Structure 1
Amino acid sequence: MSIALNNDNVDALNLASMDSLSVQITNLSLQHIPTNGAGAILLGRYFRETAGSVTVTPYFQVEPENYNYSDIPDDARFDSIKLVLRTHNQLHVQGDTTKRHSIAAHRLTQRLVTTNLQSGGFNSAGIPFYVQAPAIFGHQTFQLDQTPLGSLNYLPRPGSRQRLEIRLDDAFGKDLFDKMQTDDARVLSAANFAEYMNGIAVVPHEENTSVIAYNDTVRAEIHYSYVGAGGFRTSATRNLVIRDYSLKYNQYTADRSGTPFQGLSDASPVPGAQTNGIGLVQAGTGAAVRIDFPALRTFLQTSGIAINKMELEVEVQSNQIGMYPLSSGQDAPSLYLANSGGIALDFIRIPFTNEIQRGQFVAGNNTGRNARYTFNLIEYVRTVNNESISDRHLVLSFPPASLVGTANSLLIATDGNKPKIKLNILYTKFN
């Protein structure tokens, strides 16, 4: 039907709005989060009183920059070996950086390998949409030597081009240098070197208070010296670098003991009623919030109405500053469509596009107004009304790049033990 200003039946139309649909939340864990090759190396541990701690440990395989050692003189002597990390050019910090941190480098005793879900006996309903290739997932653990190769105690300087140098064990370094100097078969090819050395993990101390991003151009510098042609001792360096970035990943470990979320796992969602209405969203660990409006389908199938606008509004606890800054722009949270098992099968798009939608950030103020994110859900109407995908639930998480490559987190605000989530619907009613 057409509607015009001179329509004789204009009195039969009413424009109405509502925001009274009840909301229920469930805290769950998204599964199979691939954190290999995700750009920055994340390292550290942060603690939030309500949600517990998250520890991020980078694992990576290194190998010689090149396999030609003819430039190393026969009389050269080993001096030292150092593992070098530099802070990322795009500042990413979660937690308190005012306290000293400790980290330790460990040699892996198990080779890093990727897992192919597509050929691992999973059907398509068991593979998240963000897993497109063989991967190493953030929850995976590879064995390492419990005796560290070296450690470092330092004070973080976020915002600066900080260089961290971990002095590694001299015996380990000399053994490696001797093999290079004598053209040992174990250091003459990538395949042989991978057999000799599985890789390195940099483990943060359990009392560290922040997670910081570092460039993935990490390297181990082997320093040696020799007497040059002029009779003077000359210093030189050979480097071990990351070549295969598919074998570099960030391992996430959450400790939620003593918090309302302590029972949260892949197999055990936690209803919002058990967390006093608080919802937890974390990158890396997969903690996410399922949002249900039990009466929504019934309302949308009411005869005689047409939906003009549907907007989701989610208020969050913290503001834009502090130890846990809220994400905006490309890192702002997104909405997924996931099954009851925590498998994200699709995402909410920007209307009339195929791009994932990120929440529009509205900052809080000094008078107690919480910050919030808003989402346009007009295209979600079709999902709600589609019986064939009725088991797909609306889930608040971070967009894929942030989910797999950051340590971002947020907590949903509450009012009277109820989450401050609202669905605003503007609709036309035909009498």
Structure 2
Amino acid sequence: MKRISVLAAMACLAACDKSGFNYDNIIDDGGSLQYSLLDSLQVQMRTVQLDSIRTSGTGTGLVGSYADPLFGKFTSSSSFRLGLPSETDPGLKAIYDSVELVLQPDGHYYGDTLPLQRFQVYQLSRPLVLPKDYDAFYSHQQFPVNDQPLADVTQRIRPTSGNKVHLRMNQQFGLELFEKIRSKSDDIKNEEYWRDYFKGLTIRGVDNSAAFRLLMNDTAVVMRIHYHIVKETVEEKTIDFHMNLSELQFNSYSYDRSGTPIAGLTPGADGIMGETTGNRTFIQPLTGAVTRIDFPSIAALKELGRYGRIMQAELVIKPDNGTIKNYPVPPRLTLTLADKKNVVTQGDTISNAAGVQYGNLVTDKLYPENNQYSWDLTEYCRAMMAADEYNYRGLLLAAPFSEFHTQLNRLVVGDGGSKQYRAQLKIYYLLYE
């Protein structure tokens, strides 16, 4: 198999124009057929900023903040509703003790978990309902909260231990709520009255060193009132307010990329070219940073339609190993078709009808610089050879959809001009000499 450049391929094929040539039925008559590898096509890569990310109804909350030297300062909060408890009659002899918010980390986190972490819990000042003409909440949205927090707790979190997080809340707030339950106040008469009185909660981190992912469902999130009754012995009891309407729970994100290689990244089609960021591009879908890939010279290959056929095309992307210390590399990435405005489009040239293809990470423990993701772009390259400016599609490189809205995984990859981690499009074609 020969490895040749685009120009060399053109020159060679220009000298062997055979009318009626059919690659599907041709028989090799002693060496006239030969595979060649074309691997010098330009791979143009840029980091682009997507619009706000849908974050409601994922079943997960992301809370906290941390500083990343390459992606900047990230801060996240989570808002949710609580439903009425089933137990609403503690009795006249009941004595209030305390109230707390109980949360369950699911093990996913980003940053340094060793230092103490500070969390604040606020009551919403407006009921948590979808705005008009919205069918979901997005990462840029925030609900107004009361001035004073219901909880302000500093403690150490062990996200992989399986232990729950207990945030002690304001005593006066808890006592007031307990008395409403005992007196059967109208504020807890039904869910509608309850929503008007207790509009929801927001939990946020304050100058943390890590962001933590929490389970968000009716069993994992509980606001718990503790009380006791004195009889012959002391009976300790609780009243639980469980999270409800999980489709309304959502996460709000903010980031500050000042001082990072992508400090100037703003929404739009242009993005930041890899050649201006050290021949690297950046991927962190949760903050909207993804990589766009284009092949500007692919149209020149349409001349091969008369003389040869693309038998296989493979895209290889390599992580920049110098950027992954303390930051796990995603086990897989996706490629999707995208128009000139970076809007994901449907198509059947990326392996399936949904227009998505997964690339799994292949690792080389002996030579880590060979770690890579790869995708089959055979049908894509065949289609783009004949594309015009209206139906041309680039590619977006990002995390799988199932992880897009809930994980902070990030990655830096080499672009087509990188020396050590060069991205390559390898095209294998059948050449008739």
TM-score by length of 1: 0.85
Contact 2:63 2:212 in 1 (8 A): yes
Closer, same or farther in 2 for the Cα pair 1:356/1:195, shift >3 Å?
A: same
- Amino acid in the other structure paired with 2:431: K
Question: For the residues of structure 1 that align with 2:213 and 2:302, how far apart are their CA atoms?
Answer: 45
SS of equivalent residue, structure 2 residue 203: strand
1:205 matched residue in structure 2: 206
Question: For the residues of structure 1 that align with 2:347 and 2:152, how far apart are their CA atoms?
Answer: 42
Contact 1:313 1:423 in 2 (8 A): yes
Closer, same or farther in 2 for the Cα pair 1:55/1:349, shift >3 Å?
A: farther
Contact 2:98 2:225 in 1 (8 A): yes
2:234 matched residue in structure 1: 233
Alignment of 1:9-408 (within 5 A): 9=29, 11-66=31-86, 69=88, 71-88=89-106, 91-114=107-130, 134-206=135-207, 208-216=208-216, 217-227=220-230, 230-267=231-268, 269-300=271-302, 302-303=304-305, 304-318=307-321, 322-328=325-331, 332-346=332-346, 351=351, 354=354, 356-365=356-365, 367-369=367-369, 371-381=371-381, 383-384=383-384, 385-387=386-388, 390-408=391-409
Per the TM alignment, residue 166 of structure 1 is displaced from its structure 2 partner at its CA by 0.7
1:217-241 deviation digits (Å, cap 9, x = unpaired): 21111112223xx443322111111
1:134-165 deviation digits (Å, cap 9, x = unpaired): 21112222222342211222223242112211
Contact 1:51 1:261 in 2 (8 A): yes
1:125 matched residue in structure 2: none
Question: For the residues of structure 1 that align with 2:32 and 2:131, how far apart are their CA atoms?
Answer: 60
Question: For the residues of structure 2 that align with 1:182 and 1:270, how far apart are their CA atoms?
Answer: 61
Per the TM alignment, residue 31 of structure 1 is displaced from its structure 2 partner at its CA by 2.4
Question: For the residues of structure 1 that align with 2:352 and 2:329, how far apart are their CA atoms?
Answer: 27
Gaps of 5+ in 2: 1-21
SS of equivalent residue, structure 1 residue 341: coil
SS of equivalent residue, structure 1 residue 253: strand
Percent of residue pairs identical: 27
Question: For the residues of structure 2 that align with 1:8 and 1:163, how far apart are their CA atoms?
Answer: 69
Closer, same or farther in 2 for the Cα pair 1:416/1:353, shift >3 Å?
A: closer
Paired positions, count: 405
Q: CA RMSD in A?
A: 2.8
Contact 1:94 1:325 in 2 (8 A): no
Per the TM alignment, residue 295 of structure 1 is displaced from its structure 2 partner at its CA by 0.4
Per the TM alignment, residue 397 of structure 1 is displaced from its structure 2 partner at its CA by 0.9
Question: For the residues of structure 2 that align with 1:269 and 1:321, how far apart are their CA atoms?
Answer: 23
Question: For the residues of structure 1 that align with 2:24 and 2:372, how far apart are their CA atoms?
Answer: 36
Contact 1:308 1:428 in 2 (8 A): yes
Per the TM alignment, residue 106 of structure 1 is displaced from its structure 2 partner at its CA by 1.5
SS of equivalent residue, structure 1 residue 93: strand
Larger Rg: 2
TM-score by length of 2: 0.84
Question: For the residues of structure 2 that align with 1:348 and 1:252, how far apart are their CA atoms?
Answer: 34
SS of equivalent residue, structure 1 residue 302: helix
Closer, same or farther in 2 for the Cα pair 1:321/1:386, shift >3 Å?
A: closer
Question: For the residues of structure 2 that align with 1:211 and 1:114, how far apart are their CA atoms?
Answer: 26
Question: For the residues of structure 2 that align with 1:342 and 1:354, how far apart are their CA atoms?
Answer: 16
Gaps of 5+ in 1: 121-133
Contact 2:55 2:251 in 1 (8 A): yes
Question: For the residues of structure 2 that align with 1:389 and 1:115, how far apart are their CA atoms?
Answer: 35
SS of equivalent residue, structure 1 residue 359: strand
- Amino acid in the other structure paired with 2:90: I
